[in-house]
Structure 1
Amino acid sequence: MMHKKFNLTTQIIIGMVVGIGLGLVGGQQVAGIKIVGDLFLRLIQMAVIPLIFCAVIEAIGSLPMKQLGRLGLKTAAWFTVTTILAACIGLVAGWWFNPGHGLHLSLAGTNAKQLLAHQPSLQNTILGFFPTNIFEALAKGNTIQIIVFALFFGIALSKANQNQHYQTLLTGIRQINQLLIDLITLVMKLAPIGIGALMAWVTATNGAKVILPLSKFLILFGAGTLLFLFGLFAMITIRAHIPLRGILHGFSRIIIVAMTTTSSAASLSVEMADAEKRLGVHKQISELVLPLGMALNSNGLAMYLALACVTMSQFYGLAISPIIMIKIVALSIVACLGTVVVPGGGLVALAIIVPSIGLPLESIGLLAGIDWFSGIFRTVLNVVGDTTTAIMIAADEDQLDRQVYQTKA
């Protein structure tokens, strides 16, 4: 008799449901299972810093200098603007609608209040983005400083490697990055158990009231996704002078594949084909923007992280200052770098950003339980954001074939 093997997503959902049931039935008697979830989160977290460091260097260092020129600057500008807008939508939605209210988690044993209460000035916050000692930043796990260094190192490597003199170094970094991805893939096999244990602890401690904030979070994220998509389509309709009907037709397959695979990497081939054939983007533009966007740009993840941070702060009854809001937006942007193609990228990115603003790491367990549903919205925003950027750059460079829209208008 053949036994059906469930994929990891199904296993995580089963683990979440079993964990909630165990917590509701067992109550405080099963609260000790939290240690299993904590071990899983630590295993994820241990590979995050080297992964981000190597992934950013590889992504930037692999680009020829000519691609880091005019087109590279335009691409980076569009990526930055759309990602900031996405993060701000997530931040405002969380602040306005309070999805985390109704659930009160304990801060016992954490230093979150102190970290959130004693924040540096805006000037010192900006200066804090730049490291004085990269080894100190690595030792302390200062994510923003590490990414800033990696960006500059990647640019220097790209420039120095024009004649392939540093190809061995680039190959070594690429191999280390792949090994780290393999390590996280291995750790993610434990996700059903780890997430199930965390959900059991949360429900054992707080009861069934934990379900409502998670539902509110998903509804808000879905509404934010629709709002952002409307804004992107309106922008390219007006700025690139192309009909909305043609845009909807051109993006239809891309959105369907993104929703069903919940993977930016799995969507890339369809994204590139349709960008050229159905959306009129010249091959030169699509081959630069779309793979780079998959590795370095993530509108969906930025919105998710910003909304998640506000929601988690509300779980603990913590007020968020304007400085913390700026930090959340900045972290939501930089945490996207290199994590989009990693298995469980949303969970990995949360492991980067949550400790950085002083929130307890175990709070990730709540949103990890609904990560697959969140992944649908994240992936749609990611691939549509990348493709929209490609259309805008193609229009600016006069490399957009509008004939394909006329046939669908």
Structure 2
Amino acid sequence: MEKNNILKNYSGLLWLLAGITVGSIVGLIFGKSVESIKPLGDIFLNLLFTAVIPLVFFAVSSAIANIDRSKKLGKLLTIMVLVFLGTILISAILTLVASWVFPIHQQLAAGNLPEETTKIQSVGEQMTQLFTVGEFYEIGSRKNMLALIIFSVLVGFSTLYAEESGEGFKKFLVSGNEVMKKLIILIMKLGPIGLGAYFAYQVGVFGPQLFGTYAKALGLYYGVGAFYFVVFFTLYAFIAGGFKAIKIFWKNNIVPALTAIGTCSSIATIPANLDGTTKMGVPAYITNVTIPLGSTLHKDGSSISSIVKIVVVFAIFGKDLAHVDTIILALGITVLVSIVEGGIPNGGYIGELLMISAYQLPPEALPPAMIIGTLVDPMATLLNATGDNVAAMLIARFTEGKNWIEKGDSSS
């Protein structure tokens, strides 16, 4: 039964890998003549681009509209947000440093991949275009994803503060979110065919050298991910409560870690996390808020993969991830990815679309990022899910004081 459950949980991932594998073989065999099947990939991407706009709107606005406005949670939520943002940025910066130490060098002919041309703009014009649009209909363009997110946040808060008079609209947002999630699930059924066709095209055009880029990317991700999991989670536990907290964390994090790997889902790991953090001595009021919210808003693994995807796409397109504004934008995208993708099926693709929009890249930049996201999913889930447990310990430290372990029912 356990083997069947694992196969069921990973069925989507296995089908995507099967499509990529078949596409690779087809590309190697038929070479550049395989360009004729590229439209299959284009159809898949177009469907995804079309559905993702209403999905982001409903997901973000409904989440904010349903926030608990209780003042009692004010301090806890403030500390929780700071801890979440802090660990997300630390994991992203660590990955950036690793990408400079172990660079993924440009190996592909950038001239073969189209780039979207944009006129040179001032910093002010770039910021205006990035955060806002001039007409409402422009909010529906994939090129304006950040503006869409900001608009969705404003709609969510407006609904929240409308209170009873906004209840009908709140129900509409919640219902729309559920419908759009189902739509994404349906579209992703075409993922093995769409990604397989695109991968066949890429291998056929660029040859086996493409595999070197992906291999380096996977090595970078799993290397950084493993280092972050062991070293930084231990460091966070130490900050939370010294050596005693380290022992308590790792002792009670085994079951959540195995659950995360077995289910490949942060949401499915919530029960194990709730039990684990309770045994760690984290107060119930912190656990009951931090773990559910963390499963959707706190994604250290996604933070690392977001940077790796940017590094890979930049390598393929011959861009340089060294300028200050480029780095700051990458970190901003990483934070937004962690927040937006939570609770959305295949939510990592939202971040990839945001990356394409922010850096003005063509649609051809999406498949490589999607492939990386697919291949790193197990490690990403492990970091995303169990990162909530050590975050809960940190939140307990900053809300309850340094003696929080002694106050709780520690299992040590």
- Pair in the same fold by TM > 0.5: yes
Note if contact 1:134-1:149 (Cα within 8 Å) is conserved in structure 2: no
**CA distance 1:50–1:29, change in 2 (3 Å):** same
1:75 aligns with 2:80: yes
Which residues in structure 2 correspond to 1:250-399 (within 5 Å)? 250-276=252-278, 278-320=279-321, 321-398=323-400
Which residues in structure 2 correspond to 1:143-182 (within 5 Å)? 143-161=145-163, 164-182=164-182
The worse-fitting range, judged by mean Cα deviation, of 63-72 and 393-402 is 393-402
What's 2:19 paired with? Answer: 15
Q: Which amino acid aligns with 1:70?
A: K
1:333-357 CA distance string (max 9 Å, x none): 1133332322222233212322321
Q: d(CA) in 2 for partners of 1:77 and 1:324?
A: 23
CA RMSD in angstroms comes to 2.6
1:215-247 CA distance string (max 9 Å, x none): 111111112112323223212213333432221
Q: d(CA) in 2 for partners of 1:10 and 1:313?
A: 27
Aligned equivalent of 1:94, options 91, 94, 99: 99
Q: d(CA) in 2 for partners of 1:216 and 1:108?
A: 20
- How big is the shift at 1:374? 0.7
1:38 aligns with 2:39: no
**CA distance 1:227–1:180, change in 2 (3 Å):** same
Note if contact 1:331-1:353 (Cα within 8 Å) is conserved in structure 2: yes
- How big is the shift at 1:375? 0.7
Identity among equivalent positions (%) equals 24
Which residues in structure 2 correspond to 1:181-220 (within 5 Å)? 181-220=181-220
**CA distance 1:407–1:82, change in 2 (3 Å):** closer
Aligned equivalent of 2:58, options 54, 59, 62: 54
- How big is the shift at 1:127? 5.6
Aligned residue for 1:64, secondary structure, equals coil
1:3-40 CA distance string (max 9 Å, x none): x9992222111111110000000111112211111211
Note if contact 1:59-1:295 (Cα within 8 Å) is conserved in structure 2: no
1:49-85 CA distance string (max 9 Å, x none): 2222221222222112126622222111111122222
Aligned equivalent of 2:115, options 103, 110, 115: 110
**CA distance 1:104–1:86, change in 2 (3 Å):** farther
Note if contact 2:130-2:358 (Cα within 8 Å) is conserved in structure 1: no
Q: d(CA) in 1 for partners of 2:392 and 2:410?
A: 19
TM-score, with length taken from structure 1 = 0.88
Note if contact 2:352-2:370 (Cα within 8 Å) is conserved in structure 1: no
1:263-313 CA distance string (max 9 Å, x none): 11121221122111x222222112211221222232211221122112211
1:184-242 CA distance string (max 9 Å, x none): 00000000101110110011011111112111111111121123232232122133334
Note if contact 2:282-2:408 (Cα within 8 Å) is conserved in structure 1: no
The worse-fitting range, judged by mean Cα deviation, of 127-136 and 86-95 is 127-136
Aligned residue for 1:337, secondary structure, equals helix
Note if contact 1:355-1:361 (Cα within 8 Å) is conserved in structure 2: no
Q: d(CA) in 1 for partners of 2:121 and 2:327?
A: 11
Q: d(CA) in 1 for partners of 2:32 and 2:103?
A: 28
- How big is the shift at 1:107? 4.9
Q: Which amino acid aligns with 1:53?
A: F
Note if contact 1:23-1:204 (Cα within 8 Å) is conserved in structure 2: yes
- How big is the shift at 1:109? 3.8
**CA distance 1:107–1:206, change in 2 (3 Å):** closer
Aligned residue for 1:240, secondary structure, equals helix
Q: d(CA) in 2 for partners of 1:369 and 1:126?
A: 30
Q: d(CA) in 2 for partners of 1:158 and 1:391?
A: 30
Q: Which amino acid aligns with 1:357?
A: Y
What's 2:3 paired with? Answer: none
Q: d(CA) in 2 for partners of 1:165 and 1:178?
A: 22
TM-score, with length taken from structure 2 = 0.88
Q: d(CA) in 2 for partners of 1:407 and 1:140?
A: 52
Note if contact 1:328-1:357 (Cα within 8 Å) is conserved in structure 2: no
What's 1:84 paired with? Answer: 89
Note if contact 1:237-1:244 (Cα within 8 Å) is conserved in structure 2: yes
Q: Which amino acid aligns with 1:257?
A: T
Q: Which amino acid aligns with 1:292?
A: L
